[in-house]
Amino acid sequence: MDRYKKKRIYVIYFCILFNLFFLSLRLIYLQIFRAPSLTHFAQKQYQMYIPLEPARGTIFDRNMRPLAINLTIDSLFSNPREIENPLYTAEVLSEVSGLEKRMLLDKFAQDKSFVWLSRHIDKDIAERIKSLSLQGIHLIKETKRNYPQARNASTILGFCGIDNQGLEGLELYCDAQLKGRPGYLLSSKDAKRRRLFFLDYDHLPPIDGYDVVLSIDSVIQNIAERELEKAVKATRALGGSVVVVYPSTGEILAMANYPNFDPNNFEAHSRDAFRNRAVTDMFEPGSTFKIITASAALEEGIVSPQDRFFCENGSYNMKTHILRDHTPHGWLTFREIIEVSSNIGTVKVAQKAGLETLYRYARLFGLGRKSGVDLPGEAGGFIRPLNRLSKTSIGAIPIGQEIMVNALQLTLAASVIANGGILVRPYIIKEIRDKKGISIKTFSPVRIRTVISAQTVEKMKQILIGVVKSGTGKRADVDKYQAAGKTGTAQKVENGVYSHSKFTSSFIGFIPVDNPVLAIGIVLDEPRPYYGGVVCAPVFKNVAADALQYLDSLSQDIKFANID
């Protein structure tokens, strides 16, 4: 080999080596220095991250009838970068979906790859959009909370927001239990962005939310809602509540409020309708409080049902103010005082008992503090501390003024008499269970305290039967069943003084007296006419009659929890 040839080989060899050296450098640069960013870039091309939404738990009534469930529904989004002709797309989409063209154009102008156009759209509209196959317009499946019973129990259940988060009622209260834990799936995708099943990298399965079983019976709830709506409309009241409790355990069988709302379309209603008035609204109980006054007096042995009191023929000068009865009465027995709801007679009894005793019993009955019900927004009620009571208090508190309660607390007062003098904690959530039906937590009745003795209970029962048989609550008398209860009509406070035109009417009672199954409380806000015995007692009658017939028809199938 001549020298020239050898030189050429060396040059070529050197060139190859030189190139290899630079290629190695480039390789090192790409493999080591650019590795993280290039790996990420590559992963983005072939990997897909799929968030896995957990199924929100179902809410059931006591008979396992679903009250809140999930449905899959389409939502519309766009990738503005994929849209070649925004004007045409906006025009067509606007025509099909009813969305505003200007709004669509604004969204298409955004330099993003994902823009929501409309969440939770109708199935028909989704089908039409799908058939158009518009560039950059996509549909995605989402779950939406639905309430098959619509308005029934809506103020208890509340509703969920667009992202399935609880916003009101039990949906909010039990959000942590209902929502579950989201998961994800890291998988491979092909050029058409389809998932490749066998090339999953990472998978965290979602944990579905727990189901919540309520103590509510949707049939009794419907009866309560129906009768309340009828009463509110007939009396042109501002609103009202009906609470039905199983007295022995404190299970809430129904809690109706009016106005209510359709949680499937909650945006169409005012915030006022979302309120669970039975626990959030406080009012002066009026004569229904006489149950507590009478119980205190009987329990302390200050009076007996046959003791007679002079009712001053309807006008009693108490030095601080003049107390009046709605109907003048002369001499009445204690039993008759409660039956005809004489304010003067009740105050005279209370004067014998003393404010301290009355205050103590009001607290024992659970007034002036939260009942502890598992519902959000409960107002605790209000009783002024003993040392802050005024000279007028003795003429006010015994007849249900100067104190504030909510409808549930008032119903519980009747429940105490029905339950042999025992106060139990009310509850609405019976059980939390997983999707397989395995119980996670069961809620049992909680006995708070014994308020009055069995002897006093018997005397009170007879007095309250008298209210329904021959007193102010005649309209609450139910055929075939013995009812007991008390009416109430309280003046509302307006600008610091008691109004003569605005009243809160109420009725609390229980049925059947021998073995009480239902304690029912009815409250109407500013009804016309305003007497509790006229407007609320018929609601008690209708709710009790229908509910008892329904319970009878179940042939004792209804099972109540046993008290610990």
Partner 1 sequence: MRISHFFLCVGIITLACLVYVWQNVCQMELSYQLLTQEKQITKLVDQNRVLRYNVLQLKSPAAIEKSLLAAKIKLKYTTPVMIAHSDTESRQLLVDYSQKPSFRERTKKALSAIFAFRSEVEARP
Among 50, 69, 92, 558, binds partner 1 (CB under 8 A): 69
- DSSP β-bridge partners for residue 331: 310
Among 92, 150, 186, 558, binds partner 1 (CB under 8 A): 150
The interface region with partner 1, picked from 109-117, 174-182, 294-302, 550-558 by CB under 8 A, is 550-558
Contact partners, residue 426, CB within 8 Å, separation at least 6: 245, 250, 251, 252, 371, 372, 373, 408, 412
DSSP state of 312: B
| Total residue length of the chain | 564
Among 65, 101, 447, 492, binds partner 1 (CB under 8 A): 65
Q: How far apart are CA 171 and CA 56, in angstroms?
A: 10
Q: How far apart are CA 216 and CA 2, in angstroms?
A: 106
Check binding of 222 to partner 1 (CB under 8 A).
yes
Burial 519-533 (b: 16+ CB within 10 A, else e): bbbbbbbbbeebbbb
Judge whether 470 counts as a catalytic residue.
Answer: no
Helix (H, G, I), strand (E, B) or coil at 151: coil
Check binding of 553 to partner 1 (CB under 8 A).
yes
Nearer to partner 1, 65 or 101 (CB): 65
Nearer to partner 1, 387 or 515 (CB): 515
Check binding of 132 to partner 1 (CB under 8 A).
no
Count of beta carbons in the 10 Å neighbourhood of residue 133:
7
Among 225, 284, 339, 525, binds partner 1 (CB under 8 A): 225
Check binding of 148 to partner 1 (CB under 8 A).
yes
Nearer to partner 1, 216 or 303 (CB): 216
User: Side chain identity at 193, as an amino acid letter?
Assistant: R
Among 62, 151, 290, 348, binds partner 1 (CB under 8 A): 151
CB of 68 to partner 1, least distance (A): 11
The interface region with partner 1, picked from 40-48, 64-72, 131-139, 528-536 by CB under 8 A, is 64-72
What are phi and psi for residue 321, nearest 5 degrees? -165, 170
Among 48, 54, 59, 70, binds partner 1 (CB under 8 A): 70
Q: How far apart are CA 229 and CA 247, in angstroms?
A: 24
Nearer to partner 1, 73 or 448 (CB): 73
Check binding of 549 to partner 1 (CB under 8 A).
yes
The interface region with partner 1, picked from 221-229, 234-242, 415-423, 436-444 by CB under 8 A, is 221-229
Question: In terms of C-beta density within 10 A (0-12 exposed, 13-18 middle, 19 or more buried), how is residue 300 classed?
Answer: middle
For residues 205 and 51, is the Cβ–Cβ distance under 8 A? no
Count of beta carbons in the 10 Å neighbourhood of residue 92:
17
Nearer to partner 1, 350 or 520 (CB): 520
- DSSP β-bridge partners for residue 239: 525
Check binding of 233 to partner 1 (CB under 8 A).
no
Nearer to partner 1, 141 or 324 (CB): 141
For residues 353 and 406, is the Cβ–Cβ distance under 8 A? no
Among 126, 219, 364, 407, binds partner 1 (CB under 8 A): 219
The answer, yes or no, to whether the previous bond of 529 is cis (omega within 30 of 0) is yes
Nearer to partner 1, 38 or 71 (CB): 71
Check binding of 544 to partner 1 (CB under 8 A).
no
CB of 152 to partner 1, least distance (A): 5
Check binding of 52 to partner 1 (CB under 8 A).
no
- Give how many residues touch partner 1 by CB under 8 A: 33
Query: Between the CA atoms of 187, 190, 195 and 196, what dihedral angle is there, to the nearest 10 degrees?
Result: -70
Among candidate residues 156, 378, 410, 409, the one with its CA nearest the CA of residue 260 = 156
Tokens representing residue 208 in the block: 């579905």
CB of 55 to partner 1, least distance (A): 10
Count of beta carbons in the 10 Å neighbourhood of residue 338:
27
CB of 518 to partner 1, least distance (A): 15
Per DSSP (E only), the strands in 407-525 are: 422-425, 429-433, 439-442, 446-450, 484-494, 497-511, 518-525
For residues 542 and 228, is the Cβ–Cβ distance under 8 A? no
Q: How far apart are CA 35 and CA 16, in angstroms?
A: 26
The interface region with partner 1, picked from 16-24, 91-99, 145-153, 426-434 by CB under 8 A, is 145-153
Check binding of 71 to partner 1 (CB under 8 A).
yes
The interface region with partner 1, picked from 220-228, 358-366, 383-391, 394-402 by CB under 8 A, is 220-228
Check binding of 141 to partner 1 (CB under 8 A).
yes
CB of 354 to partner 1, least distance (A): 49
**Residues 179-218, interacting with partner 1 (CB under 8 A):** 190, 194-199, 218
> Among 287, 342, 415, 505, which one carries the catalytic annotation?
287
Check binding of 146 to partner 1 (CB under 8 A).
yes
Q: How far apart are CA 536 and CA 539, in angstroms?
A: 5
**Residues 82-111, interacting with partner 1 (CB under 8 A):** none
Check binding of 409 to partner 1 (CB under 8 A).
no
For residues 519 and 414, is the Cβ–Cβ distance under 8 A? yes
Nearer to partner 1, 358 or 518 (CB): 518
Check binding of 64 to partner 1 (CB under 8 A).
no
Tokens representing residue 365 in the block: 């009955």
Check binding of 152 to partner 1 (CB under 8 A).
yes
Planar angle of CA 185, 191, 192, nearest 5 degrees: 80
Integer-rounded Cα Rg, in Å, for the chain is 35
Which residues are identified as catalytic? Answer: 287
Residues that bind partner 1 (CB under 8 A): 65-66, 69-72, 123, 141, 146, 148-152, 190, 194-199, 218-219, 221-223, 225-226, 549-550, 552-553, 555
